[in-house]
Amino acid sequence: MPSKQTITTANDEAISVGLIKLEAAVNNKLSNQDLAKLFSSIAINTPIIEFTNLRYIYLFTGSISVLIFSLFNFTYLGYIAVLFIFLSPLSAIFSISLIVIRHFRITSLNQKLQQLYQINLMGLQAEIFDSSAKAEELASLYYEFQRGNYSREVTSLHCGVSKGKTSELDYQLIQFHWVDKRIVTKHYQDEKGNWKQRKETVYDNFYRTSILVQIEFGIEVYIYNYEGTYRGVQWKSTSTRFNNIYKVYGETEITIAKLLKPAVVLLLEKLAEDFKGLNLEFSLDNTLLISMRQTDLLDSSVKLSIKQPAVTAELLLEKALQPQITKLLSVADEIGRFSISEFKRN
Amino acid sequence: MIIFLLLLLVILVIIIIAIYNGIINLKNNVARSWSDIIAYERQKIKLLPDLERVSSKYLDHEKSLLISVTSLRSAIAAVSPGSIDTKALSDIEQKTQSVLSGFKAVAEAYPNLQSADVLRDLMAEMIKLEENITAAVTIFNRNVADFNTGIEVFPSSIINSLTTRLSPVPIFNDSSAEYNFEYKFNAQ
């Protein structure tokens, strides 16, 4: 059991040293095993990573008290009051800023650590790319990325391999951000009470996540829940529930019917219960792009907290579940299993 | 007053037409989903000769399986996509289960055969067909439920009795086939 720490400056310094090491480890994208080792070593000297802010709370309270005292006794204190009125707010701002900065340093590191842990769990490799150029490249290949009349960018891209029932799936996890620019007319009253109107430019920000999976056949079929621009032959399933969720377009009705067998139809209905704004794009270049509104596909069942390094070291070695991305990859695999024989015959 | 009554009449006619079209749509959905089931059932007939060919050497010792295959083939040929016959479908599914378990038993009894990739692929294809039939039956049952509700609730029931006079369709319910299709995601 970690012993309770005494409130000392030395402890804060040890925490700072520990945090610098952790920040470097996260930035260098260490493996979960290496991170666990680092947390274990930090836990020896720093069982709890939490700054002791009590001194700064005292400083803040003292400064505010001095300020109030100086304001009420201005006439008696004279020039000293002016000095206090000038210095005490600075001291209060300094102490509160330090507390906030320390808090955000830990929460930000915690978020980065959680993300790295999840990426490591899936064995994903981060890609280096130009965000706008990549978005344009993807837009030339997939309708999903032809969004945003003002700007579009790929904010992150990771590559991975997943073992399916029938084969291994190479995939990319893509975070996409786009901005739509629109002009709105606003009505307002001037000083005289007359109604007038003015035009304002509004920028709407949108975020979506996609997984781009390599499959063993190439067809042109688009299944939209969220708005899409492709229009080929429209097809309707015999399932009313499916038709209410998705709009399906493709090169020919036969191709779509071969792909959307009853088992796949039910599978996609089920998938729409878990993911909002789901779109599926099958391309001739043997890829399937599944896109949705969620941005937390890598969320795992384990939540890390750097405040307790010893516990974090143990959790880092756990093979936690990542239900969201696992479901999507499983669906891609199942669609492949049901369709491969159909399209390979051609 | 006359204009008001005419307007009311026009609205009434539009409502009747909309309900009538709704019933026809529901009926067509049931018919389409039934055709889907039959189409998948018929695909089994294409697979059966291959299954027989691959395991022909061994089928001489498994007379009962040969009989089951013949019986399944004729049962599938007898059903029509035009007329809904859930009893016949139930019969086909029971026979399919018997044929599938028969082939499994053959594969287990003759290890050399079990190792044959062709038989494994054919069995996998048969299982996929069964999964699709299961899903197609789920969709059919949903459509039947929608249709039955559509012709039984008021005022559709009146329109139905005055115009189409369609009867409720029985839902397919067969315990041996276990048609409660619910897709479960794979564990990674």
Q: How many CA atoms lie within 13 A of A289 on its CB side?
A: 23
How far apart (Å, rounded) are the C-alpha atoms in residues B163 and B159? 6
Q: Between B134, B183, B186, which is nearest A165 by CB?
A: B186
Q: Are A263 and B134 within 8 A, CB to CB?
A: yes
Q: Please give, rounded to a whole number of angstroms, the shortest distance from the CA of B123 to a CA of chain A.
A: 13
Per 3-state DSSP, chain B is made up of helix, strand and coil in percentages (nearest 5) of 75, 0, 25
pTM of structure: 0.78
The CATH class that applies to domain B15-162 reads: mainly alpha
Best-predicted range by mean pLDDT among A246-260, B83-97, B169-183?
A246-260
For residue B165, the tally of other CB atoms under 10 A from its CB is 8
Q: Which of A241, A267, A330 sits opposite B142 (nearest CB)?
A: A241
Nearest to A61 by CA among A71, A53, A72, A52: A53
CA-CA distances (angstroms) from residue A325 to A69, A119, B175? 59, 11, 35
Minimum Cα–Cα distance from A321: chain B residue: B188
Rounding to the nearest 10 degrees, give the CA dihedral for residues B123, B126, B130, B136.
150
Mean pLDDT per 10-residue section of chain A, whose length is 346 residues? 47 85 90 91 84 88 91 83 89 93 91 89 87 93 93 93 83 94 91 88 94 92 86 89 94 91 93 92 94 83 86 86 84 88 66
Mean pLDDT for all residues in chain B: 79
Q: Return the higher-pLDDT residue of A345 and B66.
A: B66
In this prediction, residue B188 carries a pLDDT of: 31
Crossing angle of helices A79-121 and A54-72, in 10° steps, is 150
Place of tokens 């029509």: B80
pLDDT tens readout for residues B48-58: 887 777 777 66
Chain-chain contact of B183 with A330 (C-beta, under 8 angstroms): no
Looking at chain B, the whole-number percentage of residues with pLDDT higher than 90 is 15
Which of chain A's residues have a Cβ under 8 Å away from the Cβ of B140? 238
Task: Report whether A299 contacts A328 (CB < 8 A).
Answer: no
Q: Do B143 and A238 touch (CB under 8 A)?
A: yes
* pLDDT value at residue B176: 47
